[in-house]
Amino acid sequence: MKKTFVALAALLIVNLVSTGQTAKEYDQKASECFSKKDYKCVIENLRAEIKLVGENYGDLYLLYANIGTAQRRLGNLNEALDSYNKALELRNNSSDVLFNRASLKRQMNDLDGSLADFDKALLINPNDRDLLLNRSVTRKMLRDTIGAENDLLKILEVDPKDFQALTNLTNIRVARGDYETAVTTYNKLITDNPYEPILYNNRADVYSRMKDYKKAIVDVDKAIDLDPKYSNAYVTKAEILIGMGDKKKALKSLQNAVKLGETTTYVYKLIDDCNK
């Protein structure tokens, strides 16, 4: 089981030069609250700021976008979508807001809507690396592996050593069954980035698919050593142990994954299988 890189929405920069000190104070307070992960405080201050600056304020769309990001962090996805929609009504050519809404739609399983937003954003910024990387994720989820690969290759044309693009491209090739090429790529990536747990986890996954469980266990244990809170590695380890016929140890690994926040249907299915 591999972890895909997805960019997370952050607060966008608001220009408050012409709106007075009070508006700046609201904005600074919202930023402080965001850094403390107090997202209710973020929303409170930004809404107060909107009342102060009025509907004719040029960067009003950014305030709504930032409210959407805070709502998303609280798990209020429908409210976040409404806020991003409002932001785009005010400024429909903002690639940053389109990026955030595209990512949110993917989280809400609206993959077609996510792709449409990434397409619009890339019309505005055709070579934006993060947009290409994230569109490739949505395309892969839509099973458009050729489109996903093309996005990643475009990134690699600019930076052949882009860590995330290389990793995600290798994941696509693994899904196609090209295991030998994947191992070769991960070997090189690990040589260049020896302290990245995701690389050991992903190579473990490939070894597991190749039924080379001894190498797979070594790699996944290395991933866990590097990052004991890397929940996905415990799921990968469970998959390997199940392949080895050791469901008792696999169950323990899955329980660790759940403690660390892995609560997907897939994980609970594996737990049920281990309990049979």
Report all structural domains of the chain as residue ranges with CATH numbers, in order of start: 1-92 (1.25.40.10), 196-276 (1.25.40.10)
pLDDT, residue 4, reads 33
Residue 3, pLDDT score: 36
pLDDT at 276: 85
Q: pLDDT class for 57, splitting at 50, 70, 90?
A: confident
| pLDDT recorded at residue 186 | 94
Residue with token string 């004991």: 228
What separation in angstroms does the CA of 247 have from each of 166, 244, 253, 275? 33, 8, 10, 8
What percentage of the chain exceeds 90 in pLDDT?
79
Per the prediction, the chain carries an average pLDDT of 91
Tens-place pLDDT, residues 115-140: 999 999 999 999 999 999 999 999 99
12 vs 233: which has the higher pLDDT:
233
**pTM for this prediction:** 0.78
What does the DSSP 8-state code read for residue 12? Answer: P
What pLDDT, on a 0 to 100 scale, did the predictor assign at position 143? 93
Give the pLDDT band of residue 156 (cuts 50, 70, 90): very high
Asked if pLDDT for residue 190 goes beyond 70, the answer is yes
Residues 1-31: tens digit of each pLDDT: 443 333 345 566 555 444 455 788 888 898 8
What integer is the mean pLDDT of 225-239? 97
Confidence of residue 185 (pLDDT cuts 50, 70, 90): very high
Whether the CB-CB separation of 51 and 60 falls below 8 Å is answered with no
**30-52 pLDDT, tens per residue?**
889 999 999 999 999 999 999 88
Q: Please give the pLDDT value at position 123.
A: 97
Rounded CA gap, 36 and 113, in Å?
31
pLDDT > 60? residue 141: yes
Nearest to 268 by CA among 141, 255, 108, 260: 255
Please check the confidence at residue 195 and state whether its pLDDT lies above 90: yes
197-218 pLDDT, tens per residue?
A: 999 999 999 999 999 999 999 9
Task: Kindly state the average pLDDT of the residues 80-94.
Answer: 96
pLDDT confidence of 84, banded at 50, 70, 90? very high
Note the pLDDT of residue 22. 78
Helices (H), 6-56: 21-35, 39-53
pLDDT at 12: 62
CA nearest neighbour of 11 among 97, 89, 82: 97
Residue 17: what pLDDT? 45
Q: Is the pLDDT of residue 196 over 60?
A: yes
